[in-house]
Amino acid sequence: MHFRLKKGTVRDLIAKFQASEEYLNLHGHGGFEPVSAQKHVLAYLWFVGHEAAGYRDVADRFNVSLSTLNCIIKRINNFILGMAPILMKEPSNEEKNATKRHFLEGKGFPDVIGLIDGTHFRIDKPVEDPESYINRKKYFSIQAQAIVNEKGKFTDVFVGYPGSVHDARVFKNSSIYPELPNYCQGLGYLLGDSAYPCSQFMITPYRDNGHQTRAQRNFNFIHSSVRITVEHAFGWLKQRFRQLYHLKGRDMVELVKTIHACFILHNIADVEDLDGFDEPLLEDHPDRDAEALQNRPDEVVDNYGDPIDAEGGRILRDEICRQLAMRGANF
């Protein structure tokens, strides 16, 4: 599957793009016909689907100029982002209840309506303010925060913060932060890792202070076994759209759009076909330019500190911990 999606899905994308304003507004130049809708979609999918695909490689493969390929990528990004309200949206109450049932029956963890986490996408050294893009693994990156359901599909994505920014700060500035009470609607809560603040709407693990009780360790183990779905989803996303292992280009706006577009495409992809893809890549190796910049005295560090847990969140977590211990849940 060179184009990373099933043939029927690709044909459907081509048909939708051909009928879209992005394509219908195209006009040929100098008497030439515009690039076909099929070539637009296939060139884009080839680009995002191969980690080694540079602009020149893809332009040569599809017999277009570099400037034309750049326009193709921009048009398809805009086209896919235009489908976000349909392909990536807040789950209905029925869907949230289905997520709750899945994790309760499968793991014994009650009232989970989604899983939240962040991930990093490696980029080349930015021209402007490169220090702020160096993450703790010492490479240049753009961050994304996402919520997934039990199927590993994304229901909310926030992309664009530089790699040095703390996860909790990204969360506090994301669009979901002020909407979280409405998102949960008394139905349940999200699960997040210890980078996030514990609250009535997001349950995080107990921090390891060296004095955890057996019940707290059991809680953390089950919590992790549920939350691994979001980590798998990020892995599936990058394994399919392998350009995300190391994005090419310097235009930050378009890089962010490409990342966001791949999240949306993930939602129409079939997880079952990943077996035919290449193995995942190791992506946490440091970048020499980033290491050199971090050794400077003016390096950028986000000293956000540990997030502050809400009392209501601590009380709820303790009650869930007690319930899990009483059930003898030990997965």
Residue 300, CA distances (Å) to 133, 237, 265, 304 in order: 9, 29, 33, 12
Q: Is the dihedral of CA 227, 230, 236, 239 positive or negative?
A: negative
Backbone phi and psi for residue 2, each to the nearest 5 degrees, phi listed first: -65, -25
The pLDDT score that the predictor gives to residue 161 is 97
Task: Give every strand in the sheet of 154-162, ordered side by side.
Answer: 154-162, 141-148, 112-122, 189-191, 202-203
What does the alpha-carbon distance between residue 194 and residue 105 come to, in Å, rounded to a whole number?
Answer: 24
Token pair in block for residue 147 = 């919520």
The rounded Cα 19 to chain-centroid distance in angstroms is 28
The rounded Cα 219 to chain-centroid distance in angstroms is 26
Task: Reduce the DSSP state of residue 80 to 3 states and report it.
Answer: helix
The pLDDT score that the predictor gives to residue 208 is 87
Whose tokens are 């392909």? That residue is 87
Model pTM? 0.92
The pLDDT score that the predictor gives to residue 31 is 54
What is the residue-level pLDDT of the chain in tens, covering all 331 positions?
Answer: 577 899 999 999 999 999 999 999 887 655 567 899 999 999 999 999 998 888 999 999 999 999 999 999 999 999 999 999 999 999 999 999 999 999 999 999 999 999 999 999 999 999 999 999 999 999 999 999 999 999 999 999 999 999 999 999 999 999 999 999 999 989 999 999 999 999 999 999 999 888 899 999 999 999 999 999 999 999 999 999 999 999 998 899 999 999 999 999 999 998 777 666 677 777 778 888 888 886 654 555 565 667 889 999 999 999 999 999 988 744 4
The pLDDT score that the predictor gives to residue 264 is 98
The pLDDT score that the predictor gives to residue 330 is 47
Average pLDDT, the chain: 91
The pLDDT score that the predictor gives to residue 302 is 60
Residue 102, CA distances (Å) to 194, 196, 201 in order: 23, 23, 19
Beta bridge partners of 203: 191
Percent of the chain that is helix, strand, coil (3-state, to 5): 50, 10, 40
The rounded Cα 56 to chain-centroid distance in angstroms is 27
What does the alpha-carbon distance between residue 106 and residue 146 come to, in Å, rounded to a whole number?
Answer: 22
The pLDDT score that the predictor gives to residue 303 is 59
**245, 141 contact by CB (below 8 A):** no
The pLDDT score that the predictor gives to residue 274 is 67
Q: Which region, left, alpha or beta, applies to residue 138 given φ > 0 means left and ψ of -120 to 50 means alpha?
A: left
Task: Reduce the DSSP state of residue 120 to 3 states and report it.
Answer: strand
Residue from 58, 74, 78, 76 nearest 66 by CA: 58
